[in-house]
Amino acid sequence: MDTSLPTTKTQTVYLRPSALTDAPSHYCPGCTHGVAHRLIAEVLDEMEIREKAIGVAPVGCSVFAYNYFDTDFVEAAHGRAPAMATGIKRLLPDRIVFTYQGDGDLASIGMSEIMHAAGRGENITVIFINNAIYGMTGGQMAPTTLPGQKTTSSPRGRDVEQMGFPIHMAEVLAKMEGAGYVVRRSLHDPKNIRLAKKAIRTAFEAQVRGLGFSMVELLSSCPSNWAMTPADALKWIAEKMVPVYPLEDFKVAPTLAGLKF
C-alpha cells in the first residue's frame, strides 16, 4: 500500500498588504472599518507610497487606526484631524498625508476644520467613515443619522423637527473650489468595495498630483450599535442609507477623469 502523502502545490492567493500591521483587530465583528483599512493599505502598497505616508487618526472607534497601519501616524483631538494634517502637510509637502475620520468627528465637532481644509484646497486625503451613528460612545445620534433612526440619544427615532436633518458632507464639500476629488462610495458588498478601492486610489492620486483636497465618504456598517447581525447591517446600508446618501462622484478634477487602475 502506498502510504506517502499526495504531492501538494501551494499557491499564494491572498496576502496582508505590507502597509497593514499584524495587530489583532479591536473592531466589532461585522464592522466595515477593517475593510476600509485594508483598502487604504492596498492602495498605499500599489502606489508604493507607504513610507511617505503619514496618517492622522481621529477620536471615535478608529482612534486606534494607527495600530493597524505600518506608516507614521499621529492621533488628533476630536474633529481636529484636518487641522493637524494641514500642519504636517505644510511642513512636509512631499509626504502623503491622510486623515481617517468618522461622522461624529468630521461632520459634527470637526465641521469647521474639514470645511476650511477643503476651502483652502489643502492637499490632503480624507477617508470619511459614515455609519450614521456614534460608535465608540455606544450608539448616539450623529449628524448623519437617518430621519427616524433610533439611537441611544434619539430613542424614539430622529425627529427632524427637533433634531434636524442628516448632513451630506460629500455634497457640501464638493462645492468648495479647493476640492479636487470628492465622492461617496459604500462598503456593503464586493462590487461596491471594489468601487470604493478605486475611489481611494483616485483620492491618493489626486494628492500625488497636487490637485487639492480629496475625500472619499464611505457608507459603513455598525452592527453593534444598530443592533443588527452583520449581514442585516450590510443590507440596511443598501436599503436605507444609499437612498439618503447617493453613491456619486460629486467633484472630479478633469485630469483624474481618465485614470485607470
Partner 1 sequence: MARELLEGNYAMAEAAVRAGVEAYFGYPITPQTEILEWMSQRMPEVGRVFLQAESEVAAINMLYGAACTGARVMSSSSSPGVSLMMEGLSYIAGTELPVVLIDVVRGGPGLGNIAPSQGDYNQIVHGGGHGDYFPIVLAPASVQEAIDLTVLAFDLAEKYRSLAFVMADGSIGQMMEPAELPEMRPVRKERPDWAVTGAIGRERRILSSIYLNVEEEEKTNYRLLQRWYEVEKNEIRYREYYLDDAEFVVIGFGTAGRVALSAVRAARAEGVKVGLLRPITVSPFPAPQLSELARRVQAILVVEMNSGQMLDDVVRIVKGACPVEFYGRMGGVVPFPDEILHEIRRLTGEALSADGDPRQRWMQRFTPGSGR
For residues 119 and 178, is the Cβ–Cβ distance under 8 A?
yes
Name every residue whose Cβ is closer than 8 Å to that of residue 106 and which is 6 or more positions away in sequence. 58, 79, 81, 114, 126, 128, 169
Q: Given the complex with partner 1, which of 24 and 155 has the nearer CB atom?
A: 24
Number of residues near partner 1 (by CB under 8 A): 34
**Interface residue with partner 1, options 42, 70, 103, 205 (CB under 8 A):** 70
Compare residues 112 and 229 and give the one whose CB is closer to partner 1: 112
Residue among 18, 25, 112, 255 that touches partner 1 (CB under 8 A): 112
Q: Beta-carbon neighbour count of residue 242 at 10 Å? A: 16
Dist. CA 54–CA 70, nearest whole Å: 10
CA 164 to CA 156: how far, in whole Å? 14
**Which DSSP helix (H) or strand (E) runs through 36?**
helix 33-46
Q: Which of 42, 105, 113, 217 binds partner 1 (CB under 8 A)?
A: 113
Compare residues 30 and 82 and give the one whose CB is closer to partner 1: 82
Point out which span in 4-12, 61-69, 211-219, 234-242 binds partner 1 (CB under 8 A): 61-69
Q: What is the CA radius of gyration of the chain?
A: 19
What is the distance between the alpha carbons of residues 196 and 203, in angstroms, rounded to a whole number?
Answer: 10
Q: Mention every residue, 6+ apart, whose C-beta is less than 8 A from residue 200.
A: 39, 40, 43, 127, 216
The verdict on 53 binding partner 1 (CB under 8 A) reads yes
One of 16, 18, 23, 51 touching partner 1 (CB under 8 A):
51
Q: Does 90 bind partner 1 (CB under 8 A)?
A: yes
Residue closest to 199 by CA, chosen among 118, 120, 112, 126: 126
Piece of 62-70, 141-149, 214-222, 225-233 that binds partner 1 (CB under 8 A): 62-70
What whole-number distance in Å separates Cα of residue 83 and Cα of residue 221? 27
Binding mask 146-185 for partner 1 (x = CB under 8 A): ----------------------------------------
Rounded Cα distance between 3 and 181, Å, is 62
Interface positions, 21-50, toward partner 1 (CB under 8 A): 50
For partner 1, give the closer residue by CB, 81 or 256: 81
User: Which parts of this chain interact with partner 1 (CB under 8 A)?
Assistant: 50-54, 56-57, 63, 66, 69-77, 80, 83-88, 90-92, 95-96, 112-113, 115-116
